[in-house]
Chain A
Amino acid sequence: MGTGRGIKPGYYGEDYHSYLSGRNDVNLKWVSQAAGVLPAAGFPGSVAGGWLQAGGGAVDTVVHGGVGVYTITLNDSWVDLVKWVLNCKQAAAFSAAGVCDVQVTADNSAVDATRTIVILCTNAAGAAVEPAVNDVISLEFTFQSFNAN
């Protein structure tokens, strides 16, 4: 076994799939209304209501702010936001002027008082843009629940 190949539970250990790794995946998905408005019904609930939330009820609320901006408030704080995969499936034919990328612009998931993540929808040029009606926003966040020993 070479250097660095041992299994070490904890924050940066390689034993990713161990229950001791403390990783928690949270998935959140919604179907956008006109001008990026969030669906009103069913949160946290089913896809039928325009929402899907998985991950043990980690998300408290999602609030639409400025153009392309959404603030996700968590029910609990975490040691860290480790990684994320954010996508938008445009409802109509793909347009470079539509939502092409979703980025994290602020991570306060470790701050007890706020527990928020802010995301921004951008077009291909990186400019903020509102999702169009029926665009599907899919978010997956991986949080760390405890730190290394």
Chain B
Amino acid sequence: MPGGIKPGYYHDYLSYESGRNFVDIEFTAGVAGAVPAVNTAAFPHPGAGVVASIVKGGVGVYTINLNDAWVDLLVFRGWTIQAAYSAAGACHVMVTANNSGAATPSITVLVVNAAGAAVNPTTGDTIYFNFELQLFNAN
């Protein structure tokens, strides 16, 4: 039935039953992109919900560890606000690995400059992650 509401993965987006979960994370980077301690003023995410931890890896790399596995990562968006804008600085955030459905669930992201090269945020850069996870699959 065209236009009808079909329960499941792609149905009624606004319904409580859609199974979408939205996660917002914002933190102010320390030296070389260091992640601040959870529950500080610089990291206003309680860490007790969907996200277990965020771990800084190599240059520009962050691994977002999740508390639970999900059916899928539907959407990921990331932004930066540089302390002082530079094309050579942290301009964009990209997903490089989606393991949200794995036994040890995680999402890996990479911060890049305007040219697409991996770069660490500098002290005072604000990093934003916004993503949507799907809790259950279609019938």
Contact = CB atoms under 8 A, between A and B. Distances in A.
Interface in A113-132: 120, 122, 124-127
B72 interface: no
Nearest to B50: A4
Interface string B53-81: 00000000000001110000000010111
Contact of A16 (B20, B79, B85): B20
Interface stretch (A24-32, A39-47, A54-62, A76-84): A76-84
A83 B24 contact: yes
Contacts of B77: 83, 85
A104 B24 CA distance: 17
A108 B128 CA distance: 15
A50 B112 CA distance: 34
Contacts of B46: 12, 148
Interface string B27-63: 0000000000000000011101111000000000000
Given A2-B67, A2-B68, A126-B115, A12 B45 contact: yes
B87 A83 contact: no
B114 A125 contact: yes
Interface residues of B, number: 35
Interface in A1-49: 2-5, 7-8, 11-14, 16-17
- Chain A contact residues: helix, strand, loop or mixed: loop
Contact of A80 (B26, B80, B85, B135): B26
Interface string B111-130: 00111000000000010101
Given A4-B50, A8-B49, A104 B113 contact: no
6 contacts: A4-B49, A5-B68, A11-B44, A14-B49, A82-B24, A126-B87
Interface of B: 14, 16, 20-24, 26, 44-46, 48-51, 66-68, 77, 79-82, 85-88, 91, 113-115, 126, 128, 130, 135
Interface of A: 2-5, 7-8, 11-14, 16-17, 80, 82-85, 101, 103-107, 120, 122, 124-127, 148
